[in-house]
Amino acid sequence: MSETVLYDLTESVATITLNRPEAMNSLTDEAKSALLAALERAAADAAVRAVILTGAGRAFCAGQDLREHGDNLAAGKGLNDTVRRHYNPIVKAIAEMPKPVVAAVNGVAAGAGASLALACDLVVSSDKASFTTAFTAIGLAPDSGMSWTLQRRVGWTKAAELLLLGDRVKAAEALELGLVNQVVPADELAPAAVELARRLAAGPTVSYGAVKKALHHASTSDLPSALEKEAELQDLCEKTKDHHAATEAFLAKQQPTFEGN
Ligand code: T3D
Q: What ipTM goes with this model?
A: 0.98
State the closest ligand 1 atom to the C-alpha of 58, by its place in the atom list counted from 1: 30
Q: Report the candidate in 65, 203, 208 with the shortest Cα–Cα distance to residue 134.
A: 65
Record the pTM: 0.97
User: Dihedrals φ, ψ of 42, to 5°?
Assistant: -65, -40
HEC profile for 85-100?
Answer: HHHHHHHHHHHCCCCC
233 lines ligand 1 (CB under 6 A): no
101 lines ligand 1 (CB under 6 A): no
Question: Checking phi first, is residue 26 left (phi over 0); if not, alpha (psi -120 to 50) or beta?
Answer: beta
State the closest ligand 1 atom to the C-alpha of 81, by its place in the atom list counted from 1: 1
The pLDDT assigned to 77 comes to 75
Per-residue pLDDT tens, the chain, 261 aa: give them: 579 999 999 999 999 999 999 999 999 999 999 999 999 999 999 999 999 999 999 999 999 999 999 999 999 876 679 999 999 999 999 999 999 999 999 999 999 999 999 999 999 999 999 999 999 999 999 999 999 999 999 999 999 999 999 999 999 999 999 999 999 999 999 999 999 999 999 999 999 999 999 999 999 999 999 999 999 999 999 999 999 999 999 999 999 999 999
134 lines ligand 1 (CB under 6 A): yes
Nearby residues of 245 by Cβ (< 8 Å), 6 or more positions away: 256, 257, 258, 259
